[in-house]
Structure 1
């Protein structure tokens, strides 16, 4: 029985990792439909610590599109992930939290480069469509370069 529980946990970890990587790639590619598809219908995001907004995922995606628009090349490198899956009485539950560090590099059309170091906290829920984000909180820790989010 332990091997089956361990396998389920590993499968959940891989699925959650895919959601987090998808989040970063959607931001880099300006793929706002893909970003929104990662959220539950009631999903929310909070970018206030980076001078942004907090609210429903769609509103925050619109804000991100405007803020990131002047940077045609961007890279969100997410690493140092720490995942906790809810314990469902010895089995993986339907909620998870992941913390991850992110180094974002933004290249403006002018050639100016901005680097931002952040820590993200991702709240996830298991849905019929797989793991989805119900919350994202971005905590900016350091910034160098032009004014960017």
Structure 2
């Protein structure tokens, strides 16, 4: 009996090469999203999404929109941010064929320009809830929703 339980557990935990590949590709997609935002590389940002993607960062004071509208918003929202470093972790993926869902923790320190040569570092954290689809170009985000937003040391009166 003990052998059967061990054998069942091993089979339940074994991923196929395709499943491993899909998971690695999706994780790299999520990393590319973070670098695109931090580098303000809006072409790379556009490339992580499907053309009809929906982005919702209303929890952080942002907007719900398509990709191009979001790029325009982000350019303004990040204009006072001198540097940001999105760090994602604890990626929970559920892959079902050509679709996947992800819940991803993000911690992000930001340096804001307060004017008159003054800067302040603040921290924010949130979860991304992503829907991801396989396209001919590879995995792409079709929906990104931010939730669970918190901040520490946010400058008084600061908004994105």
Instruction: Indicate conservation of the 8 Å contact 1:50/1:140, yes or no.
Output: no
1:1-149 correspondence to structure 2 within 5 Å: 6-86=16-96, 93-109=97-113, 110-144=118-152, 145-146=154-155, 147-149=158-160
TM-score (norm 2): 0.83
User: Alignment length, in residue pairs?
Assistant: 141
TM-score (norm 1): 0.89
1:140–1:58 CA distance, 2 compared to 1 (3 A): farther
Structure 2 gap ranges (5+)? 1-10
Shift of residue 116 of structure 1? Answer: 0.7
**How far apart in 1 are the matches of 2:146 and 2:66?**
14
When Rg is computed on C-alpha atoms for both structures, the one with the higher figure is: 2
Instruction: Indicate conservation of the 8 Å contact 1:24/1:77, yes or no.
Output: yes
SS of residue matched to 2:106: strand
Shift of residue 136 of structure 1? Answer: 0.4
Greater mean deviation of Cα atoms: 103-112 or 44-53: 103-112
